[in-house]
Amino acid sequence: MKKVVVARKLLPAGERLLQGRFEVCSGGLDAGRDVLLELVPGAAAVVADPTVAIDQQVLAAAGDDLELIANFAVGYDNVDLDACQRSGVLLTNTPGVLTDATAELALGLTLAAARQIPAAELQLRAGSWSGWDPSDYRGSELSGATFGVVGMGRIGLRYAELISGFGGDLLYTSRSAVDRSEERLPGRRVGLEELLRESDVVSLHLAASRENKHLINRESIAMMKPQSILVNTARGSLVDADALAEALREGRLGAVGLDVFENEPGVPESLRNAPRAVLTPHIGSATYRARDAMAELTARNVISVLEGNGPLTPVSTG
Ligand code: GLV
């Protein structure tokens, strides 16, 4: 039986498909790198997730039997693509099945940030609400707002569809030559700078790469409208968190809704203490439907590759 190592945890919807077909070893949720390095020798496939760094050392420890890294996530910035390519190891991810879940969380963060819902609720829970105050918690209205979607992939497009009900304008950046939003949405493809200058809400939907680290930094924040809202459900590395916290404190940015952070589970104190910041613990895909579908697609990739039928949702490593 081929050996499949689950670096941390695969949900039952995926794990039950592997049991019986392969020898499955799971590190468990708390497993760190040392456990992974102990488990991987002889593995034919490793199931990773966004918290598990897959690099040359892991591939070398696994050895020549390793055929596949199956990432239990759509993002794969935790994986060294060059190392996979050099070792001839395939990589798969879970596109498509978490699109709705993640776009819906981005919408939730947009609303929560615009109206400061968590801070208002906390005040009430703390028993410190002293009554209706016409100047309390005034926020931004989304109806008629200009939305800027950075990265018009599957999730960006779904977010754009969801916010179309607000009846405002849509600006977006997109890498692909094909304008995927054209048939589905009226919107204008622009450069990042124009998007940042014009938008009332900026939502990030890009895959993280070395090139776009801190895409949102002091300079780009300075281009944004002082009342604007930034939402990030993509990856923490896209944003310079300290620059963001500083802009919030100094009133140069309206509000933020963030689900992802550069060094998770660490969240910089500057951000935790910043005003008008809604922060959630990387729950973009955390719906019953999406997480089960991700686990199942991860397992189906493992089965397909290890049974010689090739990857279902490959990531190009070249
Ligand atoms: C989660 O962060 C994912 O990339 O699926």
pLDDT, tens digit (0-9, with 9 covering 90-100), for 10-64: 999 999 999 999 999 999 999 999 999 999 999 999 999 999 999 999 999 999 9
Minimal CA–CA distance to 95: which of 45, 40, 157, 18?
157
Nearest CA to ligand 1 atom 5: 73
Would you say the CB of residue 73 lies under 6 angstroms from ligand 1?
Answer: yes
**Which residue range(s) make up the domain with 20?**
3-97+288-306
Query: Are 185 and 170 spatial neighbours (Cβ–Cβ below 8 Å)?
Result: yes
Query: Is the pLDDT assigned to residue 183 strictly greater than 70?
Result: no
Q: Is 264 a catalytic residue?
A: yes
Residue 213: partners with Cβ closer than 8 Å, 6 or more residues away? 237, 238
Query: Is the pLDDT assigned to residue 178 strictly greater than 60?
Result: no
pLDDT, tens digit (0-9, with 9 covering 90-100), for 201-213: 999 999 999 999 9
Say if residue 88 is in the same domain as residue 175. Answer: no
**Structural domain count, the chain:** 2
Say if residue 195 is in the same domain as residue 266. Answer: yes
C-alpha to C-alpha distance for 316 and 190, rounded to whole angstroms: 27
Residue type, 307: E
Q: What is the CATH number of the domain that holds 51?
A: 3.40.50.720
Residue 257 pLDDT class (50, 70, 90 cuts): very high
> Cβ–Cβ contacts within 10 Å for residue 198, how many?
18
Say if residue 261 is in the same domain as residue 294. Answer: no
C-alpha to C-alpha distance for 148 and 66, rounded to whole angstroms: 42
Query: Are 260 and 237 spatial neighbours (Cβ–Cβ below 8 Å)?
Result: no
The catalytic position among 38, 141, 182, 264 is 264
Would you say the CB of residue 153 lies under 6 angstroms from ligand 1?
Answer: no
- How much is the CA Rg of the chain, to the nearest whole Å? 21
C-alpha to C-alpha distance for 106 and 76, rounded to whole angstroms: 20
Say if residue 105 is in the same domain as residue 49. Answer: no
C-alpha to C-alpha distance for 235 and 46, rounded to whole angstroms: 22
Residue 181 pLDDT class (50, 70, 90 cuts): low
Query: Is the pLDDT assigned to residue 179 strictly greater than 70?
Result: no
What is the CA(130)–ligand 1 centre distance, in A?
A: 41
pLDDT value of residue 184: 72
Say if residue 103 is in the same domain as residue 89. Answer: no
Q: Is 219 a catalytic residue?
A: no
Would you say the CB of residue 108 lies under 6 angstroms from ligand 1?
Answer: no
Across the range 244-259, mean pLDDT stands at 98
189 three-class SS:
strand
pLDDT value of residue 180: 56
Query: Is the pLDDT assigned to residue 221 strictly greater than 90?
Result: yes
What is the CA(12)–ligand 1 centre distance, in A?
A: 18
Across the range 236-265, mean pLDDT stands at 98
The catalytic position among 154, 158, 235, 291 is 235
Atom nearest to 98 CA in ligand 1: 5
How high does pLDDT run on average in the chain?
Answer: 96
Atom nearest to 94 CA in ligand 1: 5
Bond into 265 cis (ω within 30): yes
Would you say the CB of residue 98 lies under 6 angstroms from ligand 1?
Answer: yes
Would you say the CB of residue 50 lies under 6 angstroms from ligand 1?
Answer: yes
Say if residue 252 is in the same domain as residue 273. Answer: yes
* Lowest model confidence (mean pLDDT) among 77-81, 128-132, 177-181, 195-199: 177-181
Share of the chain above pLDDT 90, in %: 96
Our measurement of the distance from residue 147's CA atom to the centroid of its chain's CA atoms, rounded to an integer in Å, reads: 19
Q: Please list the residues that pair with 314 across neighbouring strands.
A: 92
Query: Is the pLDDT assigned to residue 182 strictly greater than 80?
Result: no
Say if residue 178 is in the same domain as residue 67. Answer: no
What is the CA(294)–ligand 1 centre distance, in A?
A: 10
14 three-class SS:
helix
Share of the chain above pLDDT 70, in %: 98
Place of tokens 């990042």: 192
pLDDT, tens digit (0-9, with 9 covering 90-100), for 261-314: 999 999 999 999 999 999 999 999 999 999 999 999 999 999 999 999 999 999
pLDDT value of residue 26: 98
Q: Which conformational region is residue 89 in: left (phi greater than 0), alpha (psi within -120 to 50 degrees), or beta?
A: beta
Our measurement of the distance from residue 93's CA atom to the centroid of its chain's CA atoms, rounded to an integer in Å, reads: 13
The catalytic position among 154, 158, 282, 300 is 282
Say if residue 92 is in the same domain as residue 109. Answer: no
Token pair for residue 81?
A: 């693509």
Say if residue 19 is in the same domain as residue 159. Answer: no
Say if residue 169 is in the same domain as residue 298. Answer: no
Token pair for residue 15?
A: 């794990």
Residue type, 253: L
Q: What share of the chain is helix, strand, coil (3-state, %, to 5)?
A: 35, 15, 45
Minimal CA–CA distance to 110: which of 152, 153, 139, 74?
139
Across the range 166-178, mean pLDDT stands at 86
Would you say the CB of residue 139 lies under 6 angstroms from ligand 1?
Answer: no
Within-domain flag for 46: yes
Say if residue 54 is in the same domain as residue 134. Answer: no
pLDDT value of residue 148: 98
pLDDT value of residue 95: 98
Within-domain flag for 223: yes
